């Protein structure tokens, strides 16, 4: 079953439709593992604290922002969630253009949009049907 990569809303004018974004493609590329050539043991990454000169667990690793002078400012998940980003959970539709005007070479990896719940299904289907009937695509605002 596909895993959601984004939960938010598509928004145009006064309309917001709660959606989930899913990947439309699967990666079938070959993945190699790093091994120790002498005994074929797997080689793993370790997290090392430079201050305490010891290995730390993944649970002890956090985020920070490094200033140009080398100082490090810790940033917590709570602080990131509290940032006042107006587009953090909305995909803003800014224009409806002819689908033929979209250069296929400029289209990146595909995604499926799915309405979140029965209440969102109706406005989502109306928008999708209107785009299909008129042969239109949407332009989205880039953050």
Pick 49 or 27 by higher pLDDT.
Answer: 49
Residue 75: what pLDDT? 92
**Residues 75-133: pLDDT tens digits?**
998 988 887 766 567 888 888 889 888 887 777 777 888 999 899 999 999 999 999 99
Instruction: Give the closest residue to 120 by CA, choosing from 20, 4, 12.
Output: 20
How confident is the model at residue 30, as a pLDDT? 87
What is the DSSP secondary structure assignment for residue 51, as one 8-state letter? Answer: T
Q: Please indicate whether residue 11 or residue 3 has the higher confidence score (pLDDT).
A: 11
Neighbours of 108 (CB within 10 A): 5
- pLDDT reading at 141 higher than 70: no
Q: Residue written as tokens 């200033």?
A: 67
What is d(CA 137, CA 123) in angstroms, rounded to the nearest whole number?
17
C-alpha to C-alpha distances, 126 to 2, 11, 29, 43, nearest whole angstrom:
24, 14, 37, 52
Pick the CATH number of 4-26+85-140 from 1.10.3470.10, 1.10.730.10, 2.40.290.10, 2.40.50.140: 2.40.290.10
Instruction: Tell me whether strands 90-98 and 4-12 are parallel, antiparallel or unpaired.
Output: parallel
**Length of the chain as a residue count:** 143
3-class DSSP assignment, residue 120 = helix
Tell me 97's DSSP state.
E
């Amino acid at each position: 079953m596909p895993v959601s990569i984004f939960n938010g809303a598509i928004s145009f004018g006064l309309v917001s439709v709660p959606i989930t974004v899913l990947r439309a493609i699967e990666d079938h590329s070959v993945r190699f593992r790093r091994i120790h050539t002498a005994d074929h043991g797997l080689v793993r990454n370790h997290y090392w604290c430079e201050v305490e000169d010891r290995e730390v667990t993944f649970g002890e690793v956090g985020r920070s922002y490094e200033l140009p002078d080398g100082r490090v400012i810790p940033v917590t998940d709570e602080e990131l969630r509290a940032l006042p980003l107006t587009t953090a959970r909305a995909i803003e539709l800014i224009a409806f253009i002819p689908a033929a005007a979209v250069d296929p070479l400029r289209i990146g990896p595909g995604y499926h949009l799915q309405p979140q719940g029965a209440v969102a299904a109706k406005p989502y289907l109306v928008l999708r049907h209107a785009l299909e009937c008129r042969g239109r695509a949407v332009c989205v605002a880039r953050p």
